[in-house]
Amino acid sequence: MKFENLYRRDYGKLKQIVKFDGVRKVGWRSPSNIALIKYWGKRDFQLPQNPSLSFALSKSFTETTIQYYFKSKNGISLDFTFEGNKNELFEKRVNGYLNSILDFFPFLNFLHLKIESKNSFPHSSGIASSASAMSALALCLVSIENDLFGTLKNKKFFFEKASFIARLGSGSAARSVYGGYSVWGKHPNISGSDDELAIPFGIEVHPKFQNLQNAILITSSESKKVSSSKGHQLMEGHSYANARYEQAGNNMTSIVKALQSGDEENFIEIVENEALSLHALMMASKMGFTLLNENTWRIIDWIRHYREEKNVFLTFTLDAGPNVHVLYKQADKSKIEKALRSDLIRFCENDKWIDDQLGSGPSLIT
Ligand code: DP6
């Protein structure tokens, strides 16, 4: 556990809090991300069973600010508001999370934190918020460390530690600390890739895939009947587990090539295979279940027909839920959007969809 040991070693250095007067403040806006190669199944504590690859979204993000001041009494202490309101459930969760990462941030024992968080997307829109929320929080925490001790001045180290800390809150959040494409989990063809933290993709992506558009079609905003955590757990002892981890590794090998060469056909094949395999795993797990609904399937059918008929680059992926992420190129935006409005909106709950795209990653709120 290379990074865990490295970050734990900070302990000695950080034990002594630099006492300061007054209140300081930090804030980060951090995006959600959409995985093309899916993380599904963990081992040990928050380590992935296979490598995953995603791109950062642009308009779906969380903004978190932390005001912090020195207190002499030892122990985690915080107030948490979500979208302007005190939220005790979230506060309890954040409290548990902060306690669990004290070995990496011992100085938190001596600070009171006033955390304010809000999302750009409605809470009940069916968009997974754990990636943006946990990455925004993790970025604030590494910023506080750097502010107090100057230990993370190196940009690469800063974001690596943010990714490591975000991962401990939610696996997919590890990938949200970077813009563009990022990879979490060791893969032989991606140098520097690691199970403990995500890294930027680092390989030149063909221009075709540099400005991907992502229309998120909300077919249902109901909360999931089976959580992602439960879904990951169901991979333990799953009859397809080993085959799945091998498939993910092979799909990663292929998508790296497709992203580099601009091979659209292969890209589509891999991305749809990953999305449908994720949901097939759920159906084939103990007490099999599906999160997909009939409108998810109608949209998928429509996408495949339209692509065939118009010979255009158009594909989809799915999160752990029934909403469809429609992927297409910026150059086709007006055409696709028109078709989407006329043919697909009717499958969305209250006509709800989010016009998102590949984004440039987190930014500091000043
Ligand atoms: C289907 O990151 O939400 O979106 O680590 O338990 O918080 P936890 O799980 P989470 O799982 C995301 C699963 C996924 C695929 C992906 O984003 O890679």
364 within some domain: no
Structure confidence at residue 73 (pLDDT): 83
Which uninterrupted H or E stretch holds 139? helix 130-149
The range of the structural domain enclosing residue 130 comes to 2-203
The residue whose CB lies within 8 Å of the most ligand 1 atoms, and thus the one to mutate among 223, 228, 236, 281, is 228
Does residue 361 surpass a pLDDT of 70? yes
Assess whether 84 and 218 both reside in one domain. no
Does residue 349 surpass a pLDDT of 80? yes
Q: Which CATH number is 231's domain given?
A: 3.30.70.890
Quick one: pLDDT band at residue 223, thresholds 50, 70, 90?
Answer: confident
Ligand 1 atom closest to residue 134's alpha carbon, by position in its atom list: 7
CA atoms within 13 A of residue 196's CA, in its CB half-sphere: 12
Ligand 1 atom closest to residue 128's alpha carbon, by position in its atom list: 3
Assess whether 130 and 218 both reside in one domain. no
Who contacts 230 (Cβ-Cβ below 8 Å, separation ≥6)?
none
365 within some domain: no
Query: Residues with beta carbon inside 6 Å of ligand 1?
Result: 35, 38-40, 52, 130, 170-172, 228-229, 232, 278, 319-320
The predicted model gives 354-359 an average pLDDT of 97
| Tens digit of each residue's pLDDT (9 = 90 or more) over 277-309 | 999 999 999 989 999 999 999 999 999 999 999
Assess whether 139 and 274 both reside in one domain. no
The predicted model gives 360-366 an average pLDDT of 96
24 within some domain: yes
Tell me, in angstroms, the distance from the centre of ligand 1 to residue 165's CA.
Answer: 15
Q: Which CATH number is 50's domain given?
A: 3.30.230.10
Cβ atoms of residues 37 and 255 within 8 Å: yes
Choose one of 185, 203, 221: the last residue of a domain: 203
Assess whether 247 and 167 both reside in one domain. no
DSSP E strand boundaries for 139-193: 181-184
Assess whether 196 and 91 both reside in one domain. yes
Assess whether 320 and 192 both reside in one domain. no
Structure confidence at residue 251 (pLDDT): 98
266 within some domain: yes
The residue whose CB lies within 8 Å of the most ligand 1 atoms, and thus the one to mutate among 39, 181, 245, 255, is 39
Does residue 39 surpass a pLDDT of 80? yes
Assess whether 289 and 157 both reside in one domain. no
Assess whether 214 and 183 both reside in one domain. no
| Tens digit of each residue's pLDDT (9 = 90 or more) over 128-184 | 689 999 999 999 999 999 999 899 999 999 999 999 999 999 999 999 999 999 999
Cβ atoms of residues 130 and 138 within 8 Å: no
Does residue 127 surpass a pLDDT of 80? no
Tell me, in angstroms, the distance from the centre of ligand 1 to residue 12's CA.
Answer: 33
Tally of domains within the chain = 2
363 within some domain: no
Does residue 16 surpass a pLDDT of 80? no
Choose one of 184, 203, 222: the last residue of a domain: 203
- Which region holds residue 65: left if phi is over 0, alpha if psi is between -120 and 50, else beta? beta
Choose one of 173, 203, 233: the last residue of a domain: 203
Assess whether 163 and 254 both reside in one domain. no
The predicted model gives 79-87 an average pLDDT of 94
Quick one: pLDDT band at residue 222, thresholds 50, 70, 90?
Answer: confident
Assess whether 146 and 194 both reside in one domain. yes
Does residue 187 surpass a pLDDT of 60? yes
